Every structure is written in C-alpha cells, then in structure tokens.
Chains A and B, each alone.
Chain A
C-alpha cells in the first residue's frame, strides 16, 4: 500500500484513509495452544485482567495461544525489571526492555536469561516470518547483544522525544509559541503561568530539556575526542536553564515534588501547558484526552537556537526490545516467533486491525471513511500489550484523531533536515559492569540543581569525580568500540 503522505528522510509516512477491505498477512494460526507469560510496560490506565477483558480473550483465541500479561507502569518499569531479571527462574517468556533502561550487568542478564535467536532469524531463516523480515536492517542490528541476535525490535518513531504544547489553549490565549532563544522561552513560560495553571512539567521528564538544548545522547565526538553528554556545553547550559525555570516558579508544584506519573494527566487537564514526552506519547495523549475534550489539541514546540543551531538526535531504530526466555524447546521458540510475526503485521491487514482496535461491533465501529472509532469498552480493553512484543514499521494512520496524521507527518518531515544520527547509531552497546553505576549520581544532582539545592560548582565537582572514578576508562572503552566500528 502506498501512503498518502510520503516519508521524508526517514520521517514516518501517513495514511489519510483506511481501506474498506483489510488483507490477511498471516494465513495460518500462529500459536499451537501454548501458554506464555509476558512483561510489558504501559503509560496509560491498566486494562482489566484477562478474565474480564474480551479483547485479550478474542486475540488469544485468534492467535491460538494463552497470554498472561504482567503490565507494569512505564515510569517504574526499569526498576521492576532489575528485580525480575535477577531471578532467572521467574523471568517471563517475553520480556520487553527499553533501550534507555537496560539495567546493570545487562549483558550477563541477556546471556543467562534469554534465548539466542540467531539460528532462527539470521540469513534466510527469517523468510519464514515475512512480517519480521520486513523490518529494516538497522532495527535488527540494534538487537545484537554479546555478538548474537537476542531480541525482537520494537519499531521506534524515528525521533525519540519532543516537547509538546497545548495548541488549543495557546490559540485561545492568542499566543503563537515561537521562541527565538532560551531567554525568550523562559519569558513565554512566565507568561503562561498563573491562575492555577503552570507552564510546564519538570523539563527533565520526557527528556524535554535535552531536546531543547540538543544534548547528545551518551557520547559525542568533538575535536577528535569522545565527550560524554555530561561533559558537553549543551548539558551545562541545560542545567543552568533548569535552575532558572524552577526559580521562576513556572513548574507545576506536584512536578517540583517529583510526581512524574501524573505529568500527562496534568497536561490533559490543562494545569500544565507544555510537557516533554516521547513522540509516541502524541497518540496516547490524544487517545486519553479526546473522548472527554474533543477540542484537545497538542503540537510539538518549534526548535530554537540555544547554545548551538537546533539539532535533533535520531532515536535508536528500535527503542524497545523484546527478549524470549531461554529454552531448549525449539518448537516453543518457533511458536513464539510465529506469534511475533503475527504481531508485526503492517497497517491495512486484518491482524493489525485486530491488535490495534479489537473487534468491530465489540470494541469499535467503522465510521465515516472507514475509520476505527473506539467505543467505551474498546477504550478500556484495547491497549498496547501484544504489540510490544513486535510491531510493524511506524506509519501514522490514526485518522480518527482529527489532525493527528497530518500533524505528525508534517512536523516530522519539517525536523528531519536537522536530525542527526548519534554515535553508535543502530548499535546497542551495553555499558560494562564496572561503569554501570557511574552515572547514577547525576540523576540526584540534576534534580537538586534544578530545585536550587545544589549549584553548578557541585556539577563541576561531580564531573571531576566521574572522570576519576571510571569516566576516563569508560571513554577509552567507547573510543575503542568506535575504532572497531570504523
């Protein structure tokens, strides 16, 4: 199928119409009636359990498997994961891991807990799973751990994070947010705050502050030398700015108090007008907000010059991975992969429609232009579960949310010219154990600097401390890795 809006330089394409007749991409029932456990994240309301969830019952029946999901709040996911992985016997059959949340000693964990999929998927073997084979090579190459293919990729949105503003409210206020500098942006935040309304959630959430200042993820090469993100001027400027933002009193007090979980809700209710989020959050926020407020509208804040010209670092090709628990039972692995192949069915297929929207008449109705319109039951039950395990490459086709498809395709195409691939793009490098807790003190420090409890001198001391207690060695490690790559 040809998209109505073509992608530009890797930006996601869009469909403005939904085909009346959906095609079948998987001819056989993929499952053989086995039971599987799966641990997956969720950034919205947890759906009812399987006993009272017809969506899961129907999908299970259709795919010929019995899934038991352990759905964990996405904000707490990484901490929970650490404990789950430490108990190999209790590791679920499918485990989803965020590329940004790999716990310490993760390469050990992979080797001990998870199945090497190389023999099943490398080379021609993958042809057995056409929907998986359709995923781009860059995604698969990021699934290599310890030199072997260990994971199934979850197609990312090309750009990882952005900063959203409430377009409907700002329009009402007659404000067109187009800041030209950090100072200008701060003035805007001050203007938006008042009367029980705050301009922003903590800009550390959803990586907003990094997006604004174009902070590179992890490592960057400058003047022939590797610099860690915390050593860059972008990071420094971002930290100084955070302190100014908090001091100006424009951050929602609950967010100041560290409440991340309710951040999206504050944005939906209009208590907060600007928030950082993943690009994928655009869709889930619309889905959560529109039923109660049809006028709800959001859009990414335009980039502006801070310490450097605007830049966006591309997100990893797969921003989540799903691992399979290790087993000697080859049939079981093949069954799991066949199921993953089913979950990766592309837009326009029956499988994809079932997974995303449930069953017509039960979870959704087909509206004008064939669009999928959730009913109340569909809203509640049909949330992302199976498709964390794998999904097809991203296309925007959620026409039911007025303006979304046009918005995301247009916005992403507009930022692709300033999108850069970060170092090690398409590779997943696991930080060696000896460095695994090296960056940990920065999390507390960043929160403290923002809230004025510590200052930039503390940051300098911490960076010095970081260099001495392993940072320099870590730099060498990554420099070597980079050398090998070239």
Chain B
C-alpha cells in the first residue's frame, strides 16, 4: 500500500468555518475521518466482533449483584447488593482456587516462560536452514493438538496403565504415579504446556531475532566479542521489547491458567490441586447452577487481572519500554 491517499496536512487548516475554535486540534475530525477511512474500515470488523462477543455480554455481569435464575431472566431476578461477593470472599474453596492459580502462574513464569526464549536463542545459532526449519516444525506442531489429545497422550504414556508403567510392571518394578499425584501436578501441568506450546511461543522471538542486522554480529566478532558477549549485548537487547510485552500480557493473564487442561485432569488429582479460578467459576456457576455466585467470582478475577495489566504496563513505562499501550 502506498501513502498517496493521505491529504497534505496543511490543506486542512483552511477548510470549513469555525476552525478557529478547533485550533488546538490541528486536523478537523471530518478530515481525519476521510484520511483514515480505509484504516477505520479495516478495523471495523474487529470492533464489531469485540462489541458483540466481548462488550455486550459484559453487561450480563450485572447478575453478580442479583439472585439470578435463568428461568426468571436477568431483569426479573431480584437485586441482592454485594451479598454474592461477600459469599465468594468468605468461601475457603475460592481462596484455595486462587492459591492454586497463583502458584501455577508463578511456577510457569519461572519454568515455562523462559523456555521459548531459550529455544529461540539456541535455534538462532544453528546455521543450517534445513535443520533449523525441521526443529522448528517439530517443536511447534504440538500446538495444534487440542488439550484433550495432549492429556490423552500423556495418559497413554505416563498414566497408571500407560506405556511406562506397563514396562515397569512387566520388569518387576513398582509403577510410578505421575498422572494422579496431586503433589507433583504443577510439574506435570508445566511440562504439558512446554511440550505443547513452547515451540509455538518461540516463533515470535525468532521473528524478533530476524530483524537483527547480521553485520552487528560480524562487527562484534571482529572486535573480539565471544559468543556469550554477542548474545548478551546484541541478541538479548533486540528481544527485550518483545519479552517485556509478553511478560505484561502474561501477568495480566496470570489469573487464567487454562481451563480445559485443568478440567480434564481435575478428577485425576482432585480439586485440591487442580481447582483454579476458571474451573471454580464453571463448577459453581454452570454445573451447580449458582450463576450469580459464579459471576461474582469471575468478576473479582477480572478486576484483579485488569489491575495487574495496568500495573505491569506502568512498570514497563518506567523501564522505558513501550508496553501494551502508550498515552
């Protein structure tokens, strides 16, 4: 696309009456509309999509302040003030779910988040294009498996009746409990995430790395910089904005640690280890029919998530990074 459809900025000043009052805004609204119309048109489908599927349904959150029954409807259901929120905050099961969620997030931040970066760095050092592409394809393909398949594969291999334990049993060893041990569940979850998504996550870092001018490496090498130093001074600074952006997004998402993956394994390890906020909302709200209660819990989660994103973004600004948005 070329830029020729942009009107010259100066010509807009003379247009239309009353432009004096609008001097603060250099370009009148109509002119900007005309100038950006193709951009706006392109954004329109997404805005509509978000409007219909994200913002309009958000109005339904009002049931958190009601004693909602789907059979009487949102409007007819009686208001109950903050009662649902009080019940949520007073429910030990909610706090247990919150603890599990935060534990999983913290654990994955340390043991999952760096994996794609490391993978990208390693892959970036491989010179053979063919090997690079092969490894990349192998590592990112599992991303396209649904969680049902991933969990089933793990169960088939590591489960009590799976390959590993069948082998152990037939050789006279004690079977190992991997899929049903609540104490090591967080490890299992993280390894599943790494197996499924690390290769996919790597792509964005590889893209960032591809923008680095190779001459920089050559120049550094000529200056006698070791491989480690080149990585530290050239590669990592190039990745920094992306890493910070993804870190912020991850923090904002820290109260969502995946729904399917957990609900599929909840039976195996018990609610004590596998109940997270999302599954808590699902069980209390949808399964047990306490819709308002579930909505209140979900809303608390949403508000905390928003605070986390804003906070992380502020920190990013403080470090001089762009973050998710700028003023």
Contact = CB atoms under 8 A, between A and B. Distances in A.
B288 A254 contact: no
A79 B289 CA distance: 10
Interface in A84-112: 85-88, 103-105, 108-109, 111-112
B69 A105 contact: yes
A79 B279 CA distance: 13
A444 B273 CA distance: 11
A108 B272 contact: no
A252 B72 CA distance: 45
B288 A440 contact: yes
A254 B270 contact: no
Contact of B71 (A113, A252, A451): A113
Given A85-B70, A258-B268, A447-B270, A253 B165 contact: yes
Contacts of A108: 69, 71-72
Contacts of B160: 252-254, 256-257
B159 interface: yes
B180 interface: yes
A225 interface: no
Contact of B159 (A257, A441, A444, A448): A257
Contact of B161 (A86, A253, A454): A253
A437 interface: yes
Contacts of B175: 253
Interface string A224-257: 0000000000000000000000000000111011
Contacts of A454: 272
A254 B161 contact: yes
Given A108-B69, A259-B155, 15 more contacts: A86-B70, A88-B70, A104-B289, A104-B290, A108-B72, A112-B71, A253-B175, A254-B159, A254-B161, A257-B160, A257-B267, A433-B69, A437-B290, A453-B182, A453-B270
Interface string A269-282: 00100000000000
Contact of B266 (A87, A88, A103, A258): A258
Contacts of B268: 256-258
B190 to A, nearest CB: 19
Interface string A99-138: 0000111001101110000000000000000000000000
Given A437-B290, A444-B271, A447-B267, A253 B159 contact: yes
Interface in A384-437: 433, 436-437
A453 B272 contact: yes
Nearest to B92: A465
A112 B290 contact: no
Nearest to A448: B270
